[in-house]
Structure 1
C-alpha cells in the first residue's frame, strides 16, 4: 500500500501492531511451557489473557474507522520472536532460560509500547477519539506488564541466574540443582565410575587366576603322592622276588 498521508501511516502501523499482537499470543504459549518460575509463568498467562482482549480492542478500532481488521507482516516482531526461540533452545539451565525469556518478552513489549505511542499521537492529530482511547488503554497495559517483568527480573530471576556453578555442576547458593544440572552430574559420575568398575574386574580376574593356580598345585601334590606310592609298591615287590 502506498502511504501518501498521515492517515495511511496510521492505518499501516495499526495493521502492523495487530499482526504483532496475534504473533505474540502464539509465542507466549510456547514461552509459558518453557518457564520454570511460577511467578513468571503466572505473569505470562495473565498477559496472554490481556493480549487476547487487546486484539479484540484493535478490531474495534478498525471498525471505528469503517475498515475490516487485517494485519500486515511485522518483520520487527518476527525477528524478536526468532531471537527468543533461539535463546530458549540455547539456554543451558532453567534459571538462565527464565531470565532470558523475560528479556525476550520485554523486547517485544518495548516495540509495542513505541508503536502504540505513535498511534496515539497520530490518532489525536487525525481526530480519531474512539481509537485513541482504546490505543492508550492498550499502551498502558503494555507499560504495566513491562514494569512487572522488570521487578520480577531484578528481584528474583536475574540474581538466581547469576549464582554460577560449583565444582559438582550445581548452584553455589545452596539451592538444589535443576533437572539439566542433575542429568549432567549423573552423566559425569557415571563416567568417573567406569575406571573403578574396570579395576574391580581386573582384581576379580586376578583372584580367580590365583585360586585356579592353587587348585592346580593341590591337585599336583596329590598326583605326585599317588605316583610315589605306586613306585614304592613296585620296588617292594621286586626286592621280595630277589630275596626269594
Structure 2
C-alpha cells in the first residue's frame, strides 16, 4: 500500500491496530491461565473482553471507510506477544507471585502499544474532520487507559510486594 496522505495513514493504522488486537487476544488468554492471583486473572479476562470490543470498533471504522481490517500484520505486537510468552509464561519461576508480577509487566507493555495506537488514530481522525471516528476512538483510548490503571493498582496493591520475598 502506498500512503499518499493522512487519510491513507489513518486507514493503514486502523488495520495495524486491528492486527495488534487480534494477536493480543490469545496471549492475554494464556497469561490469564497462568495468573495465580484471582484479581489478576479476572482483570485479564476483562482485558480480553476490552480487546475484543476494540477489534469490533476498529472493524466498524474500517467498514465506514470501505477498508478491510484484515491483511495487515502488526510487527510491533508480534514482538510484544513473543516477549510476553517468553518472559511471563516460558520462564521458570520459583515463585508464583513473581510470575504474576511478570504477567502484569508484559500485559502492560501490550496495552501501552494500544494506548499509543488509539491516541494517534484519534488525533488523525480529528484532523481529518472525522469527528464521529474521533469520539469513538477517544472512548477506546479511555477504556484502554482505565484497564492499564487497574493493572497498576493490582501490581501496587499487593502483587509486587508479595513477589519481594519469593516464597
Common fold, TM-score beyond 0.5?
yes
**Larger gyration radius, structure 1 or structure 2:** 1
The superposition leaves residues 20-70 of structure 1 with CA deviations (integer Å, 9 ceiling, x where unpaired) of 011111111111111111000000111111221111111111122122332
1:14-25 equivalences in 2 (<5 Å) = 14-25=14-25
Mapped to 1, the partners of 2:47 and 2:85 lie a distance apart of 19
What is the 5 A alignment of 1:143-222?
Answer: 143-164=145-166, 171=167
Q: TM-score, normalised by structure 2?
A: 0.94
1:115 pairs with 2:117: yes
CA deviation map 1:169-191 (0-9, x unaligned): xx2xxxxxxxxxxxxxxxxxxxx
The total of aligned residue pairs comes to: 165
- Give 3-state SS (helix, strand or coil) of 2:90's partner: helix
| Residue 137 of structure 2 is aligned to residue 135 of structure 1 | yes
Stretches of structure 2 lacking an aligned partner (at least 5 in a row)? none
Contact 2:14–2:69 (CA under 8 A) maintained in structure 1 = no
Which whole-Å CA distance do the structure 1 matches of 2:92 and 2:32 have between them?
Answer: 15
Would you say 1:61 and 2:61 are equivalent positions? yes
Tell me, yes or no, if the aligned pair for 1:18 and 1:71 is still in contact at 8 Å. Answer: no
| Cα distance, 1:139–1:37 mapped onto 2, change above 3 Å | same
Distance 1:71 1:150, change over 3 A: farther
> Could you tell me the TM-score, scaled by structure 1's length?
0.65
Q: Supply the distance in 2 between the matched residues of 1:91 and 1:99 (Cα, whole angstroms).
A: 14
Distance in 2 of aligned mates of 1:43 and 1:108:
14
Q: How far, CA to CA, are the matches of 2:4 and 2:152 in structure 1?
A: 39
| Conserved? CA contact 2:7–2:128, under 8 Å | yes
